[in-house]
Structure 1
Amino acid sequence: MKRVELFTDGACLGNPGPGGWAALLRWGGHERMLSGGEPCTTNNRMELTALLQGLKALKEPCEVHLFSDSQYLVKALSEWLPRWQGKGFRGVKNQDLWEAIARELVRHRVVPHWVRGHNGHPENERVDQEARKQALQQKATLFSAQAGKRYT
């Protein structure tokens, strides 16, 4: 099984608000940055989306070492997920994303690692910067759309 490193982060300008996510995949000497955003979301949804999109980008089953500054994400993967699955994810926030992540976990072995955010970890800083960039783009798009409505 191929070993892959996945660095993820989510950002939100307000909670809820315009948000962005980023996932950096690394295997061998290769890297691939994935990112995107949503106009109205939460920080946790962006954290989960980064993980989901990173896992979905893998073409074959992998051992994925996930590095995230989200304690919510790391604790959910390492402690809470089996219990949530056992009760059909009833009452779990972001149920749609957790169900999609659980489907990806059937293909991959994910080993979560928590890293302290904004502490100089190079890859965490990169995904943080990209996620914030995506959130700012969402905000700018919303602002442009609202400004256009006022003047037409």
Structure 2
Amino acid sequence: MKKNKPTWKRMRLKGKKVWMATGIDGKPILKNRKVRIKYQLDKNYEYWVYEKGLEAIDPIQLETIRSDREPCEEKNIISRPGRAPLEDKTTKAGISIFTDGACSGNPGPSGIGAILYFGEHEKEISRHIGIATNNIAELEAIKTGLLEIKNRKLPVTIFTDSSYAHGVLSLGWKARKNIDLVRSIKKLISTFNELTIFKVKGHAGLEGNEIANRLATEAILKGNKKKTPQ
């Protein structure tokens, strides 16, 4: 029996437009009390979030689309803001960077991920950094993202889900390990006219954070594949 493909309905999650999967009855597809969403229909990445966090869009703006349409049709419908929102916080006109570090074991094979937003432009970074701790990976992700910025007169906002990185770089925590790395990042930060670091909750459906996490995880997998004998 052929499985029915879902219909994707326009909804809003924390101020961001998303697509929610619904069945043929028009009701959300539920799994463990969570609903299936996508930020972009032409991408394979899907997330499961609690239904109570979703809001219906005004009927005048409401859009639905069958998932079996051609990708080119989907692209014409998707509205893609240049920056991802952060719940009730807003970023100034400038560059937003979401970063994440990941490791398989602590320490273990590690990867970093970052996505930079500037207006309608964005850049993804996914890099394997060898054997490291999770804290080192989180710091390296921030450093790598900042090094990508050429015009340091622009306001920059960094979003990290690492309490450690946020603490040693922004809250005055004393670094007892990774001292040289922390010092180098602080020196780099001092070269920017205006830079703010926000701590966000990880794995909470925030698009930029989810993308950075995926990029960091993919970096580990790619690094492991290179070491596997053919």
TM over 0.5: yes
The 8 Å contact of residues 35 and 50 in structure 1, kept in 2 or not, is answered as no
- Structure 2 partner of 1:71: 163
Larger RCO: Structure 1 or Structure 2 (Cα < 8 Å, ≥ 6 residues apart)? Answer: 1
TM superposition shift of 1:77? 2.2
Judge conservation of contact 2:143–2:185 (CA < 8 Å) in 1.
yes
| 4+ aligned runs moved over 4 Å, structure 1 | none
Query: Runs of 5+ in structure 2 lacking a partner?
Result: 1-91
Instruction: Note if 1:36 corresponds to 2:120.
Output: no
User: How far apart are 1:65 and its partner, in Å?
Assistant: 0.8
Match of 2:191 in 1: 107
1:126 to 211, 215, 220: 211
- Unpaired segments ≥5 residues, structure 1: 85-90
* Aligned with 2:226 (options 141, 144, 147): 141
SS in 1 for 2:189: helix
Q: Distance in 1 between matches of 2:187 and 2:94?
A: 19
Identity of aligned residues (%): 34
Deviation string, structure 1 residues 81-136 (Cα, Å, up to 9, x no partner): 6xx5xxxxxx7311222122122112113211111111111111111011001012
Equivalent of 2:176 in 92, 108, 123: 92
Instruction: Give the secondary structure class of the aligned counterpart of 1:19.
Output: strand
Q: Distance in 2 between matches of 1:78 and 1:112?
A: 7
Partner of 2:138: 47
Structure 2 CA distance, aligned partners of 1:79 and 1:126?
25
Is the 2:126–2:218 Cα contact (8 Å) retained in structure 1?
no
Q: Distance in 1 between the 2:191 and 2:129 partners?
A: 27
Once the two structures are TM-superposed, the CA of residue 2 in structure 1 deviates from its matched residue by 6.6
Query: Given that residues 159 and 200 in structure 2 are in contact (C-alpha distance below 8 angstroms), is that contact kept between their aligned partners in structure 1?
Result: yes
1:8–1:127 contact (8 Å) kept in structure 2: yes
Q: Which amino acid aligns with 1:100?
A: S
Superposed CA RMSD in Å reads 1.9
TM-score under structure 2 normalisation? Answer: 0.55
How far the C-alpha of 1:39 sits from its partner, in A, is 2.3
* Structure with the higher fraction of residues in helix conformation: 1
- Report the structure number with the largest CA radius of gyration: 2
Tell me the secondary structure at the aligned position of residue 80 of structure 1: coil
